[in-house]
Structure formats: structure tokens, C-alpha cells
Amino acid sequence: MPVIKVVNKEKLIEVSNGANLRKSLLENDINPYKGLFKIMNCGGKGKCGKCAVEILDNNDKRIQVERSCQIVVEQDMSINISPEK
């Protein structure tokens, strides 16, 4: 089972292979949204982009920013939530 390392929250969560990243974060009390977008968002439909997370490499350096609702977790990964764009 893959492990998600949320670097800026200092948390590790284990998820099922093929799990949706946004749903996994929310199920583990980690909200990928900030400010009013915690309640005003598209609900994981991939339309608003407010659930963006920073995907990190093995050295915790930013590789890219992606919408968490569009990420299928198939391997261990490191992320930061609420990245600056």
C-alpha cells in the first residue's frame, strides 16, 4: 500500500493502491483547500483547481503542481498542500 508523505503537515498516511489523493487527504483530516475554498469548491470534479498540491521529488523539491482530485495514488509520494503558485 502506498504511503503519502505530507511534508508541510508532517504527516504520513497509508492509502490503498489506486486511491484518489483528494479523497484520501480528506479522509485523514488533511484539507487540501485553504480559506473559503474549504467550503466553496467543485467537490473533486476537476473544475476549480483549488485542491492543488505540490508534488515533490525524493529531496522534497517541487516537481509540479497538480489538482489532488485528479491524482490516482499508485506509489509512495511526497506532497505539500496549499502550494504557492
The DSSP secondary structure of 32-82, one letter per residue, reads: ---GGGGTSS-SSSSSS-TTEEEEE-TTS-EEEEEEGGG-EE-S-EEEEES
| pLDDT score for 35 | 86
pLDDT digits (tens, 9 = 90+) for 3-61: 999 999 999 999 999 999 999 999 999 999 988 898 899 999 999 999 999 999 999 99
3-81 folds as: Ubiquitin-like (UB roll) (3.10.20)
Residue that wins the pLDDT comparison between 82 and 54: 54
pTM: 0.91
d(CA 8, CA 60): 10
List of residues 6+ apart from 6 with CB closer than 8 A:
12, 13, 25, 30, 79, 80, 81
| pLDDT score for 19 | 98
3-state secondary structure at position 3? strand
